[in-house]
Amino acid sequence: MSENSFRKIADESIQPQEFKFSKLNLDKAVNIKKNYPSNYPESSIMPLLMLAQAQNNGWVPKKAIEYIANFLKVPEIKVLEIATFYTMYNLSPIGNYHIEVCTTTPCMLRGSDEIVKACKKKIGINIGEVSEDKKFSLNRVECLGACVNAPVIKINENYFEDLDPHSFDKLIENLAKGKELKIGPQIKRKGSEPMKG
């Protein structure tokens, strides 16, 4: 049976005491808000959470949730329920390389559980954990939208596809050595073309 993705709000001891958008991000936030009808302020919650996450080293603290609710004048629960539902919002600190393994049906049928195991073996972390050197973190996510190239993982902003435990190991070794990575399929095919070209 698969483990679930890890959705736990960071411990109080590491939550920042305050959060507010930087001047630059505040300007962006004001513009984001203008993109949506003024009678539906909730529409801006998702892009504003992404903005807050980017400003806070890749994770959303509780104070950012509170701040966005105040900024949009919506109940805090509206922001909290979105932040805690979607795995693209990290609720606790992540590593420099945040690995998200898709384990939805097409990826599962093509060996994603083996990728999760390879990750645990190679880096020594479980779902929801960060490595001691803070270099890597791991989570399990739902469909990343690249099913035709299953199994798929995402590391920070990039997709790595058509993986097996061996190519995954190699990927992590190259990442740890700071080598340039081959983004996309890890086999010979280009993009999503048929396996036989």
Ordered alpha helix ranges (H), the chain: 23-34, 45-55, 62-72, 76-85, 105-109, 112-123, 165-176
Q: Which stretch binds ligand FES (CB under 6 A): 30-38, 50-58, 128-136, 140-148?
A: 140-148
Q: In what order do the strands lie in the sheet with 136-141?
A: 136-141, 97-102, 153-155, 158-161, 184-185
Residue 5 C-beta: closest distance to ligand FES, Å: 13
Q: How far is CA 44 from the centre of its chain?
A: 19
Of 64, 102, 153, 171, the residue at the interface with ligand FES (CB under 6 A) is 102
- Stretch binding ligand FES (CB under 6 A), from 60-68, 77-85, 103-111, 132-140: 103-111
116/102 Cα distance (integer angstroms):
9
* Count, residues in the chain: 197
Q: Are 69 and 78 in contact (CB under 8 A)?
A: yes
The nearest distance, CB 150 to ligand FES, in angstroms, is 5
H or E element: which one contains 101? strand 97-102
143 sits near ligand FES (criterion: CB under 6 A)? yes
If one asks whether residue 52 binds ligand FES (CB under 6 A), the answer comes out as: no
Candidates 20-28, 130-138, 146-154, 170-178; binding stretch for ligand FES (CB under 6 A): 146-154
51 binds ligand FES (CB under 6 A): no
- Other C-beta atoms within 10 Å of 180: how many? 6
Q: Does 139 sit near ligand FES (CB under 6 A)?
A: no
Closer to ligand FES at the Cβ: 48 or 102? 102
Residue 146 touches ligand FES, criterion: CB under 6 A: yes
Contact window for ligand FES (CB under 6 A) among 67-75, 83-91, 100-108, 180-188: 100-108
Which of 177, 143, 174 has its CA nearest to residue 159? Answer: 143
Interface contacts to ligand FES, rule CB under 6 A = 102, 104, 106-107, 143-147, 150, 152
